[in-house]
Structure 1
């Protein structure tokens, strides 16, 4: 008698099948912005023969590298179920304090208190300090993350304006300009730093326990705590890490410009959230990917570059960025049947 087998999925295998399908769907979402990016590249090639040149594409990647780090930092915070508005001010304050303490007296209010070679460590320490204060207020005292980081954004911006008297620090040391001007293997170091940071972030979220726990915390903090995850410590570390990344971003931007303006980073948080949202990072936490966040900021900068070649004034960019966000949300709703949250 021939044995017949039920080809339907057995109950024991059903959970693993569902997990596999979810992982496959997540990978597809990671690459959801690739078709629009390819389309923009094709349009750019028709708009100007200079668009696809190595020089132009390198300039685009260098220009987006510093804000790409901010998107990475914000994405980590958003995945954990929080948000950090102060990152744009940290971009200016961290290198600003470093310049203030290391520049010779008589140059932009420089104090000449610390040797110039200490400028980069000082900027990173400022980033760590800002993150630690955010973590203390949000995790330690249980204050609302939006309100705390909004207050920090204003406070840090005012502090930078105060120490610089509203002027621009210039005459930066070689250590401060290195990441913004150096080339590694024929490619600007800023691009290397941005890509490597994303690669480390992707691997950490996928393979490290602390990285995977961010999704659990963002999805349901109480359930994550019940499962033995140290939610408070993890969220605190995320805020500190995000501010440290923002300080690194500020160093790269200051190095590229060879200066620190009192308004450095102002308004960047809107672009950061735009890139995160269109990249599929949930504002409610627990969902998103760094690959999606990276393609989000890449798409925005490619669009701006094509529009520049087309002769569109930069005053229209904010309007167009907002329109892109709304268009992506509508497409997500139509295709997936659910809105981005």
Structure 2
């Protein structure tokens, strides 16, 4: 088997082919378009059975990955951290496109259990909609903060409660207060209010669309106490196929809930908080834990049990997040089996 590593840019892809022991067989640079991808496939055909290793920066490799998969090729995704480690340990110093492509291929040879890419499906649709909603919410938050300062300048006695600008009643009340007020500050306030109303409509429409998609794809995940549509959408989109993970422990490392060992000699068993992993998934698990701690589901009882064992609240929450990671993993697996069995069979 030949491993072909790629270093991708907006205009070009540079690829390097290595044999199973890491010896360089060839390199090529092609344009980052369909014609270039066809040339790449013709070149790769000369090596027989190949596997493509792409650095996991999907904003640059999405189209290449799709063309390779549609051509029947096997594609692996190499995390940037592993590529950087392989480049630092290489014999050739410096940094160039061929050096980076070779480092990607070396990392793929050293780590046989890396995620295997597949064609886009409902999980990516959910991720794109979830990410778009998050961006719109950030825009709305910024517009709300700006509007509040303008309103305070115009009328310090006008009370607008926190987070109330997402409600239609509040936006209408503010619009009535601004009606007939002259000046540049009032004009800017009206423009910001109109933008907030528009963003409210877009966010609500996206949440409705996400609710339908998530309910169809992950009923078992939604059945977990404390898991709402938005947290489920984040977990589905960031996981990108639970079959990529061999067990719950591997998934916990992905979500950043698996503790990091920090012991040596007689201090065995010590661990620290894992600040790595996918932070969006980690945040979603944290919000589920917060919800359960309020009495929805078994979280509160679990925290109290850990407290009786001498754990402080922070340590107990870490344990609860890990427990929830395992629960989410099992639910995603159940949903995957459900979705596979629901696929239509050929006549």
Superposed pair shares fold, TM > 0.5:
no
Structure with the greater relative contact order (CA < 8 A, sep ≥ 6): 1 or 2?
Answer: 1
**TM-score (normalizing by structure 1):** 0.23
Q: TM (normalized to structure 2)?
A: 0.23
Q: If each structure's helix is expressed as a fraction of its own residues, which one has the higher value? A: 1
Structure with the bigger percentage of strand? 2
